[in-house]
Amino acid sequence: MKLSERIIGLNGAPGESDGWGVYYRARAMIEAGETLTMLCIGEHDRKTAPFILDAMDASARGGNTGYALALGQDGLRRAVAERVEAATGVDTTAANVMITTGGQAALFATMCAALDPGDTAVIVDPYYATYPSTVRGAGGVLRTVAARPSKGFQPDASDLSAATEGARALLINTPHNPTGAVYSRATMEGIAAVCRERDLWLISDEVYSGQVHEGAHLSPRALPGMAERTLVVGSMSKSYVMTGFRIGWVIGPEDVIAAMMSLANATTYGVPGFIQDAAEIALRQGAAEEAEVAALYNRRRDRAVAALEGSPVAVSPPDGAMYVMLDIRGTGMSGEAFAMALLERERIAVMPGESFGRAAAGHVRVALTVGDEAMAAALRRLAQFASRLAKAA
């Protein structure tokens, strides 16, 4: 039987790398019994807080195990709306919120809402690895615009304006994975101006909004003329250590959210009620937990910067999220070759910058997701490895 072009083409042209080669190799090494330091993916080493697990358990045992409402339970939708309204000052009610199976399903839902088949969606390079397939999965055509390392990976308004001609949607992410950039007010105002000028949907991925180390997170939905064209993607995964719960949301205009109910019916048919109850408790009673998670990555970021000081891959501290992006161009290697060599010779797994697009070529991304001591030791070894290569280059 013939598979659809859509499923075959999700990762791009046939044979194109999906960018996960180093990660797959690292997994294979672990399965073969080898010990290595895994700094590849945004998966916490911390465990979900007991009060969240207790809430899930009580909900399930209390009988909330049947089909849940497709757009989400009222209580959780209200909790999300209250949080968003408090953070942004934009009037937000439960009717502006759709609960989804994680931020990933929220990204797909927003693309489905914004794009007709063949419409162009612009993403900022470097980008989170699933963005291209999410655009293609919704029938869209992908276009990228580079955010340059020399500009702190903040996209430039004139580049955005040129790249979005004829496009239907722009997808941005701040705080940013993989670079840790937090878009400044000037960057956001530039983005908003381009979206108004080009009449674009703006999809704003804010799954790291709880992890800002420097500056402040500004949601573009709060900027003039933007609430009606902005679809915000949020998640419990990063801020509350709930990656495996698969729970997130879309915030958007009421009519858009109401229309997306048919997508929920056609795909997930709602998120399990006991997961939603756990998320609601986390949002309503979890301020201390969220602060602790943010403090953990803030501390590791500082330790990572200190461990790399004086080396050819020294970095200025990233402003947000749970990663550090290292410029390894001084070694004369590509990010991919460096990451593979680091894995084979030093048993340290990091992601090549090329996995996130072209603009981060010659970089590697380090996820700050092992204990402080192990992380700092691995980074000191990485720095020595880079120094030896840079001298030989």
Residues that bind ligand PLP (CB under 6 A): 42, 102-104, 128, 173, 177, 205, 207, 235, 237, 243, 248
Say which amino acid occupies 335.
G
Q: Minimum CB separation from ligand PLP for residue 378, in Å?
A: 21
Query: Residue 44 has which token pair?
Result: 């916490």
Q: Are 96 and 257 in contact (CB under 8 A)?
A: yes
Nearer to ligand PLP, 232 or 342 (CB): 232
Nearer to ligand PLP, 111 or 207 (CB): 207
Q: Minimum CB separation from ligand PLP for residue 367, in Å?
A: 9
Give the full edge-to-edge strand order of the sheet including 201-205.
Answer: 97-100, 248-251, 230-235, 201-205, 169-173, 120-125, 141-146
Q: Are 175 and 182 in contact (CB under 8 A)?
A: yes
* Alpha helices, DSSP H, located in the chain: 5-8, 21-31, 50-61, 74-88, 102-114, 131-137, 157-163, 185-198, 254-259, 261-266, 273-285, 287-308, 335-346, 372-392
Say which amino acid occupies 343.
L
Cα-Cα end-to-end distance for the chain? 51
Q: Minimum CB separation from ligand PLP for residue 323, in Å?
A: 9
Nearer to ligand PLP, 88 or 211 (CB): 211
Nearer to ligand PLP, 301 or 329 (CB): 301
How many C-beta atoms lie closer than 10 Å to residue 17's C-beta? 12
Nearer to ligand PLP, 140 or 248 (CB): 248
Query: Residue 27 has which token pair?
Result: 């997994």
Nearer to ligand PLP, 321 or 333 (CB): 321
- The beta-strand segments (E) located in 118-247 are 120-125, 141-146, 169-173, 201-205, 230-235
Q: Minimum CB separation from ligand PLP for residue 196, in Å?
A: 24
Q: Minimum CB separation from ligand PLP for residue 335, in Å?
A: 18
Nearer to ligand PLP, 176 or 329 (CB): 176
Q: Given CA atoms 14, 20, 21, 24 in this order, what sign does their dihedral have?
A: negative
Q: Minimum CB separation from ligand PLP for residue 47, in Å?
A: 16
Nearer to ligand PLP, 131 or 338 (CB): 131
Q: Minimum CB separation from ligand PLP for residue 129, in Å?
A: 8
**Alpha carbon of residue 144 to chain centroid:** 17
Q: Which helix or strand (DSSP H or E) is residue 367 part of?
A: strand 363-367
Q: Minimum CB separation from ligand PLP for residue 338, in Å?
A: 22
Question: What does the alpha-carbon distance between residue 229 and residue 373 come to, in Å, rounded to a whole number?
Answer: 45
Q: Minimum CB separation from ligand PLP for residue 369, in Å?
A: 11
Nearer to ligand PLP, 84 or 386 (CB): 84
